[in-house]
Chains A and B, each alone.
Chain A
């Protein structure tokens, strides 16, 4: 198994930390992992992305041009990465702020309205965990137990009291994600 993922959105949406939690979850599941952030001028302009690879084998290139899965949190990232999903691959996006929706017919497209849901739950800070939950519902690359262990490893001790809320957010994401018809 090798899963090559791009997570992309605005800086501050928790893109990099979602990737980190996913990578830690992979470690808990005894997978090989890599996490490669954008750190260049694009990031300083407000967008952030991270490539996460989970694999049973030694990982070669941490930099890719096409992905099994794209997790997309804003319009710029959708415009940039929709075309980078491998045929048959998976695209998950949050509809918040999206005016041009994905159009490809040769990939599986799912929508998770995590920003709205986070607002309703009053859990804006863990919006990214709702997205992660949605992804894990569609593609359970790591088991939920290992995600919780990954959270414990990646969050500093002072945030450990927030783990139940994170777990709740993941569960909620699993419930609200839905396939976009016609994809």
Chain B
């Protein structure tokens, strides 16, 4: 078993990055995720594993540094919070187009605009539907605990390199700021130059006489070739949808009503379910672990068992659109969520279930 520590979610991301053999972190501070870069600057992994930690001049510079490092086959990552993630969208779209693996952590805060520094889940659309321009998707992982903040770093890089695509960890200020027990994995050494050439033959590692030049670009002015490239990307996203869906079912066996909630809202939903069951309300929880790909099949299956579904998100209702697309009957699907940095309480969540689904 690995080392047991009490850590903030943000610190867990940073420590997990060092242990996962990440080559480079490029970032720019913003509340509520600044502990990621603060932790790395204190731990100084550049003196131990050789991992680069750099505070860029802006979020835009940071994501483009990730592009450069990823193009040479390195494990590179960045993190930010909502307004900073908006700034990174151009770079993310370019990386999706150029098929570059990387990890981006968004510790979401309330918006729109500069908004507030308090937790929110209102970046769901941005994360799962594109965010930047063009027909692309990222794989989006939604941690619900400090342990998952740590675990999803190496998991994210595995998926990023498997599919040559950007992966996002979508958390929020609550998971980022809270401390919980975390069991840290053993150290994985950084890849050697030889391993990178073997694992990522597409990377710009220096051209030997034995192969053609590797070119990393998202630009191809020939529309027919660009269309071919788009078809290839869509094939990749289809494969991701078929193979990489992950979710957790909690107390669904006998559930008559279903919460669908991810990340911190899934924690609040679990307490609401407990409070409900004390009153004889049999509710369960479907927690998407991957938001893209979305667990549509699991929701469709559960929709045949329950009488109604409540989507619980700290937003005006974004994931509910994917839930409604997953359910093909006349099922009652409603949304509840506080906005702008306000966290809904378990009691509010239960009340919403009673009013909008059971009594509605």
B177 near A34: Cβ-Cβ < 8 Å: no
Contact with B along A17-37 (1 / 0, CB 8 A): 000100110010000111111
Assess whether A61 is in contact with B6, with CB atoms less than 8 Å apart.
no
Chain B residue total in the interface (Cβ 8 A): 26
Q: Which residue of A lies closest to B274 (CB)?
A: A60
Whole-angstrom distance between the alpha carbons of A64 and B32 in the complex?
20
Contact with A along B253-265 (1 / 0, CB 8 A): 0000000000010
Q: Mark A111-128, 1 if CB is under 8 A from B, else 0.
A: 000000000000000000
A62 contacts the other chain (Cβ, under 8 Å)? yes
**A164 in the interface, Cβ–Cβ < 8 Å?**
no
**A63 and B343 contacting across the interface, CB-CB below 8 Å:** yes
Q: In the complex, are the beta carbons of A20 and B274 less than 8 A apart?
A: no
Q: Determine if B341 and A40 form an interchain contact, defined as CB atoms under 8 angstroms apart.
A: yes
Query: How far is B177's CA from A23's CA once the two chains are assembled, in angstroms?
Result: 15
Query: In the complex, which residues of chain B have a beta carbon less than 8 angstroms from the beta carbon of A37?
Result: 177-178
Q: Are B267 and A33 in contact (CB under 8 A)?
A: no
Instruction: Tell me the dominant secondary structure on chain A's binding face.
Output: mixed
With known contacts A35-B6, A39-B32, A39-B173, A64–B345 Cβ distance under 8 A = yes
- Is the beta-carbon distance between A34 and B116 smaller than 8 angstroms? no
Task: Tell yes or no: B358 within 8 A of A by CB.
Answer: no
Contacts of B318 in A (CB 8 A): none
Q: How far is the CB of B346 from chain A (nearest CB, A)?
A: 5
Contacts of A154 in B (CB 8 A): 6
Q: A41-B117, A59-B180 are in contact. List 18 more A-B contacts (CB 8 A).
A: A27-B4, A33-B6, A33-B181, A35-B6, A35-B178, A36-B177, A36-B179, A37-B178, A39-B173, A40-B341, A59-B267, A61-B345, A62-B174, A63-B174, A63-B264, A63-B345, A64-B346, A153-B6
Listed A/B pairs (20) with beta-carbon separation below 8 Å: A20-B6, A23-B179, A32-B181, A33-B6, A33-B179, A33-B180, A34-B178, A35-B178, A36-B179, A39-B32, A41-B117, A59-B180, A60-B267, A60-B271, A60-B274, A61-B267, A61-B270, A64-B345, A65-B345, A153-B6
List the interface of chain B (C-beta within 8 A of A). Answer: 4, 6, 31-32, 116-118, 173-174, 177-181, 264, 267-268, 270-272, 274, 341, 343, 345-347
